[in-house]
């Protein structure tokens, strides 16, 4: 009989630690609904003690999601655990995930605690968590660099205290696959009550080995993998959910387990997370990259035409690529529009929001001859982006670009009830636009990244722009979309400025 492999998605918590990837409550809810549709087993919705905003977001996800377990992260202290318990009160199925560092360098330099104190603190946190939820997960942070003897001691103690899932994190992506798999096997063999808990892993990708380490752990008895959509996460990211799921499913001859994931929802989830966080997916990314099922070589094309299995080990439609289809046109009505959004998992909060989105759809239909699902997703995402603490608003812009002449941009921004105008020359249309905006706002922010991504094919495609700004140590991503790439660029820059102007901050710990 095939074992069940539990998929624990931490996009909303660990994924949010990527520079500039902070999400609002509404954005977290949209992603959580898609993760539920994907049939993720556990959704780690955030770190409730980080801020009131994060508490509210975790509570909203817990109150909304019914088919997945909703998890809240807590450091091993009374305040964090109680805060997580309160946020999860409305969850149909809730889990508290508590942790403390166990490597010598972390205990000495960060915690400044003796090993016995660390064990005592961990046991106390797990015991308190059990008063809120029966489902309690414990992680020894930086387990990959921890002493095995000490790991055995602390894990034995927290299992006795009531932990039901033991998660072994490779916090800094340091271990090798054979080494990490061996660690899981050793812990399961040496800890007396190891058969009473689910063994889990959480691997970071600093050396590009997060997926390999996770799969090695599965072959040594782990039955939960913590991962994120698109491998999103701090530094080089986390193990990629789509790669884990499809590796296990494609190689059922090798793995003794499988997931309950609806793989056809993988690509929609990937696009949603990419659009909300402003992190484009690289074209050659496994499973969800635009080139993942493309064949340029004549030999490959010939082979696929004759028999798909010659060069494809899975079908594009199995992971959701078949969703790129014509669905609506300029003659489509409001009900058809509403129904298609529902089929795409997009839930608008009010009739007014639907009216605004429908009006934007009609405007888009006048510009584009063909409208695809991706266009609709980006249209709604762009509307949500424009509502993020909108201190600045783009009212109008004019660009003059002529061969042999310096481009000129004229911008009109709304700031509260005021209209402010400026113009600037630049080395290109986008450069002139950004300089004109800065002449109005004088933010002093440093532009760290500018990225353009085409949502669909054709010269009339929606262009998605990501802008990353840094100011006073704070990093934000701004996103904008339009059929005119210069307008999309202006929207993205203004969206980033609005985020800098807001108080949206995250203080998530590492695991």
Same domain, 407 and 344: no
- Let me know the angle formed at the C-alpha of 443 by 473 and 422, rounded to the nearest 5 degrees: 160
pLDDT tens-digit map of 198-253: 999 999 999 999 999 999 999 999 999 999 999 999 899 999 999 999 999 999 99
In this structure, what CATH number is given to the domain that contains residue 123? Answer: 3.20.20.70
Same domain, 329 and 264: no
More confident residue, 61 or 300: 61
| Mean of pLDDT over the chain | 88
Same domain, 273 and 246: yes
Position 510 in a domain? no
DSSP state of 48: T
Same domain, 133 and 75: yes
The whole-number pLDDT of residue 376 equals 77
What integer is the mean pLDDT of 425-433?
95
The whole-number pLDDT of residue 296 equals 46
Distance CA(190)–CA(184), nearest Å, equals 10
Position 358 in a domain? yes
Q: What is the largest CA-CA distance in the chain?
A: 77
Domain count, the chain: 3
* pTM for this model (two decimals): 0.81
What integer is the mean pLDDT of 457-474?
81
Q: Residue 312 — pLDDT band, cuts 50, 70, 90?
A: low
The whole-number pLDDT of residue 297 equals 41
Judge contact between 179 and 146, C-beta under 8 A.
Answer: no
The whole-number pLDDT of residue 301 equals 41
Q: Which residues of 475-496 are buried (b: 16+ CB within 10 A; e: fewer)?
A: bbbbbbbbbebbbbbbbbbbbb
Same domain, 402 and 454: yes
Here the tokens at position 475 are 């990093």
Judge contact between 129 and 75, C-beta under 8 A.
Answer: no
Strand 136-141 and strand 165-170: the pairing is parallel
Q: Which domain holds residue 418?
A: 388-501
CA-nearest of 284, 294, 239 to 511 is 239
Distance CA(327)–CA(316), nearest Å, equals 19
Q: Write down which residue in 385, 412, 434 finishes a domain.
A: 385
Angle between helices 78-87 and 115-130 (to 10 degrees): 30
Beta-bridge partner residues of 97: 73, 137
Same domain, 168 and 26: yes
DSSP E strands in 145-247: the ranges are 165-170, 198-203, 224-227
Position 304 in a domain? no
- The size of the chain, in residues, is 511
More confident residue, 370 or 476: 476
Same domain, 110 and 189: yes
> How many CB atoms neighbour CB 105 within 10 A?
11
What integer is the mean pLDDT of 458-466?
75
Same domain, 80 and 122: yes
Q: Classify 419 as helix, strand or coil.
A: strand
The whole-number pLDDT of residue 248 equals 97
Reply yes or no on whether the pLDDT at 108 is more than 70. Answer: yes
Beta-bridge partner residues of 257: 3
Q: Which residues of 344-382 are buried (b: 16+ CB within 10 A; e: fewer)?
A: bbbebeeeeeeebbbeebeebbeebebbbbbbbbbbbbb
Q: Which residues of 113-151 are buried (b: 16+ CB within 10 A; e: fewer)?
A: beeeebbebbbbbbbbbbebbebbbbbbbbbbbbeeebb
Query: Virtual CA dihedral for 479, 482, 484, 490, nearest 10 degrees?
Result: -30
CA-nearest of 62, 11, 56 to 38 is 11
Query: Virtual CA dihedral for 364, 368, 370, 376, nearest 10 degrees?
Result: -30
pLDDT tens-digit map of 314-368: 888 888 876 445 567 767 777 888 887 777 767 776 788 788 888 888 887 777 6
Beta-bridge partner residues of 7: 225
Q: Which residues of 272-298 are buried (b: 16+ CB within 10 A; e: fewer)?
A: bbbbbbbbbbeeebebbbeebbeeeee
Same domain, 196 and 344: no
pLDDT tens-digit map of 164-185: 999 999 999 999 999 999 999 9
What integer is the mean pLDDT of 465-476?
88
CA-nearest of 140, 132, 21 to 87 is 132
Position 82 in a domain? yes
Judge contact between 475 and 363, C-beta under 8 A.
Answer: no
Q: Write down which residue in 246, 277, 308 finishes a domain.
A: 277
Position 265 in a domain? yes
Judge contact between 11 and 35, C-beta under 8 A.
Answer: yes
Break the chain down into helix, strand, coil percent, rounded to 5.
Answer: 45, 20, 35
HEC string for 278-305: CCCCCCCCCCCCCCCCCCCCHHHHHHHH
Angle between helices 177-190 and 210-218 (to 10 degrees): 40
Position 65 in a domain? yes
Reply yes or no on whether the pLDDT at 510 is more than 80. Answer: no
Reply yes or no on whether the pLDDT at 152 is more than 80. Answer: yes
Same domain, 159 and 223: yes
Residues 6 or more apart whose Cβ sits within 8 Å of residue 403: none
Same domain, 238 and 355: no
pLDDT tens-digit map of 16-64: 888 777 788 888 998 999 999 999 999 999 999 999 989 999 999 999 9
Same domain, 368 and 420: no
């Amino acid at each position: 009989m095939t074992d069940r492999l539990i998929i624990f998605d931490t996009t909303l918590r660990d994924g949010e630690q990527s520079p500039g990837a902070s999400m609002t409550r509404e954005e977290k809810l949209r992603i959580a609904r898609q993760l539920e549709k994907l049939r993720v087993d556990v959704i780690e919705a955030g770190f409730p003690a980080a801020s009131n905003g994060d508490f509210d977001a975790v509570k909203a996800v817990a109150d909304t999601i019914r088919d997945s377990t909703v998890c809240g992260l807590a450091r091993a202290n009374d305040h964090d655990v109680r805060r997580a318990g309160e946020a999860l009160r409305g969850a149909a199925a809730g889990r508290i995930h508590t942790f403390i560092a166990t490597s010598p360098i972390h205990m000495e330099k960060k915690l400044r605690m003796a090993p016995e104190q660390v064990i005592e603190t961990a046991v106390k946190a797990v015991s308190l968590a059990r008063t809120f939820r029966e489902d309690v997960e414990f992680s020894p942070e930086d387990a990959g660099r921890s002493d095995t003897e000490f790991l055995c001691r602390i894990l034995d103690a927290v299992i006795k205290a009531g932990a039901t899932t033991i998660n072994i994190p490779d916090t800094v992506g340091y271990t090798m696959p054979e080494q990490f798999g061996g660690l899981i096997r050793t812990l399961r063999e040496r800890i007396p009550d190891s058969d009473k808990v689910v063994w889990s892993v959480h691997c970071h990708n600093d050396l590009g080995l997060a997926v390999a380490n996770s799969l090695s752990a599965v072959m040594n008895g782990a039955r939960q993998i913590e991962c994120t959509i698109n491998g999103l996460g701090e530094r080089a990211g986390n193990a990629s959910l789509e790669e884990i799921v499809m590796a296990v499913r494609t190689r059922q001859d090798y793995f003794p387990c499988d997931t309950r994931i609806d793989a056809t929802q993988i690509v929609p989830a990937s696009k949603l997370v990419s659009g909300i966080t402003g992190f484009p997916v690289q074209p050659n990314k496994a499973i969800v990259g635009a080139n993942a099922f493309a064949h340029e070589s004549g030999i490959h094309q010939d082979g696929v035409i004759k028999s798909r299995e010659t060069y494809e080990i899975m079908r594009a439609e199995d992971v959701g690529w078949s969703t790129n289809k014509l669905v609506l046109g300029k003659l489509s009505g409001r009900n058809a529009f509403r129904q298609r959004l529902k089929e795409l998992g997009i839930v608008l909060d009010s009739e007014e929001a639907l009216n605004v989105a429908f009006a934007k759809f009609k405007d888009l239909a006048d510009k584009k001859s063909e409208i695809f699902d991706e266009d609709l997703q980006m249209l709604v995402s762009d509307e949500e982006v424009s509502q993020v603490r909108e201190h600045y608003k783009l009212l109008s812009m004019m660009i003059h670009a002529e061969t042999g002449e310096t481009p000129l941009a004229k911008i009109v921004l709304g700031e509260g009830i005021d209209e402010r105008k400026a113009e600037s020359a630049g080395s290109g249309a986008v450069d002139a636009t950004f300089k004109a905006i800065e002449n109005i706002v004088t933010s002093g922010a440093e532009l760290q990244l500018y990225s353009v991504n085409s949502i669909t094919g054709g010269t009339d495609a929606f262009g998605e722009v990501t802008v990353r700004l840094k100011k006073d140590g704070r990093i934000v991503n701004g996103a904008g979309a339009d059929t005119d790439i210069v307008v999309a660029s202006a929207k993205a820059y203004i969206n980033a400025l609005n985020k800098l102007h807001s108080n949206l901050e995250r203080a998530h710990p590492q695991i």
